[in-house]
Chains A and B, each alone.
Chain A
Amino acid sequence: DAGITQSPRYKITETGRQVTLMCHQTWSHSYMFWYRQDLGHGLRLIYYSAAADITDKGEVPDGYVVSRSKTENFPLTLESATRSQTSVYFCASTSAGTANEKLFFGSGTQLSVL
């Protein structure tokens, strides 16, 4: 089905481990984003990408790495997970022209770092 999908849905890991969260969209949207949702903070932008091979930092990029070799995929890697990275992670996408119009979000990945 068309849309934006995230995997895994739930992930439990230990501090210091590397974790990769996957995001795939079928709309060929140029813009893709990674947000984390924490109580009291709402959604905070981690990284975004305006097109394949173009990525940029958001509000809270430390401890995260992204890549975008193909338009449809935008994986997020935690190189060495910390407890403070326990959160719900949302991937989003939107079409070219403007980055603020009507983001389409995935269902999220709930990550617990023990």
Chain B
Amino acid sequence: DQQVKQNSPSLSVQEGRISILNCDYTNSMFDYFLWYKKYPAEGPTFLISISSIKDKNEDGRFTVFLNKSAKHLSLHIVPSQPGDSAVYFCAASAYNAGNMLTFGGGTRLMVKP
């Protein structure tokens, strides 16, 4: 039973527009959330994170929104660039579970020039 789900396996966006990647979780004990980005033939790299005490965190073109009541988080990329084309993984952790990360299945983002 997947505790972290990314229901859209792929997303295609035009360059310059907004990309919105979604993630849902079921474990109410999760208190820290992260997004990782993965290019082909490379390992994932950390992108942005958010604590459960916040509902928004911004870093340049990347913003993560957290809706705890809906157990939903989203990653917004504005404006999208072709170099953003990658697989994005959502991850979550719970303090009482040793802070081990649980990953979603990933969403492949394609930004078209």
Contacts and interface: CB of A to CB of B under 8 A. Distances in A.
B100 A43 contact: no
Interface size class of A (residues with CB under 8 A): 20 to 34
Interface residues of B, number: 26
A45 B4 CA distance: 14
B60 interface: no
Nearest to A43: B103
A105 interface: yes
A44 B103 contact: yes
A58 B100 contact: yes
Contacts of B2: 41
A97 to B, nearest CB: 10
B101 A100 contact: yes
A100 B43 contact: no
A100 B44 contact: no
A50 B103 CA distance: 19
Interface of A: 4, 35, 40-45, 48, 58-59, 90, 92, 98-100, 102-108
Given A104-B46, A107-B41, 5 more contacts: A41-B2, A42-B4, A43-B89, A45-B100, A108-B42
